[in-house]
Amino acid sequence: MDSRSVAKHVEDPEYVARPHKLYTLVFPVDTATSKVLLGMKKRGFGKDKLNGFGGKVEPHETIEQGAVRELQEESGLTATHIKKIGLLFFYFENDPVTMEVHVYQSDRYDGRPMETDEMRPEWFGVHEMPFERMWADDSLWWPYALENKRFVGRFWFKADQVTITRQELREVDSLEF
Ligand SMILES: Nc1[nH]c(=O)nc2c1ncn2[C@H]1C[C@H](O)[C@@H](COP(=O)(O)OP(=O)(O)OP(=O)(O)O)O1
């Protein structure tokens, strides 16, 4: 198990025993206009879906460093402040590896969004999220983000990457373990 994983604090033993891959997901927010920056994923996992910016955490970095790096690589924004808002575990049918996704918001960043090889960025009102073009779990936990609540979610997906067959979602006091 990756020592940076927090699975043992939140999952049941059956799932803790599985291999976990660490990912980040960052949502830049413009507090003045109440907009959030999403990117249309142009390739790879989740292609054609709108999402925050993120990816795999590299072996040499902390999860937070990975979050800042991926945001920079995929959107052109350099975060000067990020805060963790959630923790998501995804289990895909026929895949033995759990995706452990650390979710952040950033309301302070330098630079302007730019299209990259991986993402086409676009601003959306925080109350007008295009959930029909996002991952199916996003509409379930986004309300927590809006209310400034921390959350932990676990979602079991069919291989079609669309259908959720089981879910757990709850508010937590803290994401520091
Ligand atoms: N169900 C889901 N809901 C969600 O909101 N985000 C999800 C998700 N499943 C995965 N993600 C996010 C986590 C992460 O930010 C991203 C997947 O990471 P990557 O973009 O790194 O994947 P790739 O396979 O494209 O990797 P690279 O080839 O290294 O770019 O998708």
User: In 3-state terms, what secondary structure has residue 151?
Assistant: strand
Q: Give residue 135's pLDDT.
A: 98
Cα Rg for the chain, rounded, in angstroms? 15
What residues in the chain have per-residue pLDDT under 70?
Answer: none
Bridge partners, residue 66, by sequence: none
By most ligand atoms within 8 Å of CB, the mutation choice from 41, 51, 87 for ligand 1 is 51
Asked whether this complex has an ipTM greater than 0.90, the answer is: yes
The SS3 of residue 121 is: strand
Q: Model confidence over 101-131: pLDDT tens digits?
A: 999 999 999 999 999 999 999 999 999 999 9
pLDDT of residue 1: 79
Query: 29 C-alpha to center of ligand 1: Å?
Result: 19
Q: How far is CA 176 from CA 18, 84, 110, 113, in A?
A: 22, 9, 26, 30
Pocket perturbation via mutation, ligand 1, pick of 21, 24, 25, 168 by most ligand atoms within 8 A of CB: 25
According to the model, what pLDDT value does residue 52 have? 98
As a whole number of angstroms, the distance between CA 30 and CA 123 comes to 9
**Would the pTM of this model clear 0.80, i.e. be above it?**
yes
Measured in angstroms, how far is the CA atom of residue 93 from the centroid of ligand 1?
Answer: 16
Atom of ligand 1 nearest to the CA of 56: 21
Atom of ligand 1 nearest to the CA of 157: 1
| Residues contacting ligand 1 via CB (< 6 Å) | 23-25, 44-46, 51, 54-56, 90, 99, 101, 135, 137-138
CATH homologous superfamily for the domain 7-172: Nucleoside Triphosphate Pyrophosphohydrolase (3.90.79.10)
Q: Per residue in 34-45, pLDDT tens?
A: 999 999 999 999
Domain ranges of the chain: 7-172
CA of 24 to the centre of ligand 1 (A): 8
Kindly report the protein residue whose alpha carbon is nearest to atom 21 of ligand 1.
55
Task: Return the percentage of the chain with pLDDT > 70, whole number.
Answer: 100
- Closest atom of ligand 1 relative to the 155 alpha carbon: 1
**Separation between Cα atoms, residue 5 and residue 82, nearest integer Å:** 19
